[in-house]
Amino acid sequence: MSTPAAEIQQVQTIRLSDVCKSYGDYAVLKNIEAEVARGEVVVICGPSGSGKSTLIRTINRLEEINSGSITLDGQNIHAAMRTRELNLLRSRIGFVFQNFNLFPHLSVVENVSMSPIRVKGVAADVAHDKALKLLDRVGLADKARAYPGQLSGGQQQRVAIARALAMEPPVMLFDEPTSALDPEMVGEVLAVMKSLASEGMTMICVTHEMGFARDVADRIWFIDAGQILETAPPEEFFKSPRHPRAQRFLADLRH
């Protein structure tokens, strides 16, 4: 008999069932079936154009789907809903983009506190204090009053992570968060992601950082031409990928 704790561990947070998406005649996602358990860290990898960004963007409804369903703790993400409901739903799924997407005319602390104030109605001073704590957590307490344009790429990306965390999302999505960074800044962003993972955050990350995938992921999803062809723990995936296309992908990476 399982203990209550074990049952909680097994709760699936996100479930994708038979998800299909096309742009015109072009099928980008084909019958995607996948689950993410609470606290699980998934790394999505696959060749360019395989549908990784599209897949992750459907999970907080930045992209609509044509059929199938996606649920977060049982709630249908693609159900008909009002804008306000959709904004609330989106705020429960943090999203970190390749290009940071900070508001350039707002200070760092304003970037981080804005959504809690606007979307959740948190009092400005409370949101501000919390933003400062989050900035401290990502190592940027001293940059609270700076503007995004005054920060390095790695610093901007850490602000973007703090901004997403300010909404206390149960799930964080990352789409190539380090691809736009100079190499010396990749580590500082991965370190923040790693610490989030170790605190039990449920995460789905599209990344080419295979070291991160190996060390931090619980599971790799390998996607090619809009299909998840293989899911496996990293040690298995990197050592002995089963699908021929995954084998080829890893061989190309090694070259």
Q: What's the closest the beta carbon of residue 104 comes to Mg ion, in angstroms?
A: 23
Considering only 34, 36, 51, 234, the residue that binds ligand ATP (CB under 6 A) is 51
Q: What's the closest the beta carbon of residue 204 comes to ligand ATP, in angstroms?
A: 13
Asked whether position 94 contacts ligand ATP by CB under 6 A, the answer is no
Considering only 16, 40, 50, 97, the residue that binds ligand ATP (CB under 6 A) is 50
Q: Which does 49 bind (CB under 5 to 8 A by kind): Mg ion, ligand ATP, none?
A: ligand ATP
Q: Say if CB 109 and CB 73 are below 8 A apart.
A: no
Considering only 53, 111, 113, 207, the residue that binds Mg ion (CB under 5 A) is 53
Stretch near ligand ATP under the rule CB under 6 A, chosen from 44-52, 67-75, 166-174, 239-247 = 44-52
**CA separation for the pair 211, 217 (Å, rounded):** 10
Asked whether position 54 contacts ligand ATP by CB under 6 A, the answer is yes
Count residues near Mg ion (CB under 5 A).
1
Q: Say if CB 107 and CB 147 are below 8 A apart.
A: yes
Q: Which does 83 bind (CB under 5 to 8 A by kind): Mg ion, ligand ATP, none?
A: none
**CA separation for the pair 58, 1 (Å, rounded):** 36
Q: What's the closest the beta carbon of residue 229 comes to ligand ATP, in angstroms?
A: 13
Asked whether position 50 contacts Mg ion by CB under 5 A, the answer is no
- Residue numbers at the binding site for ligand ATP (CB under 6 A): 23, 28, 46, 48-54
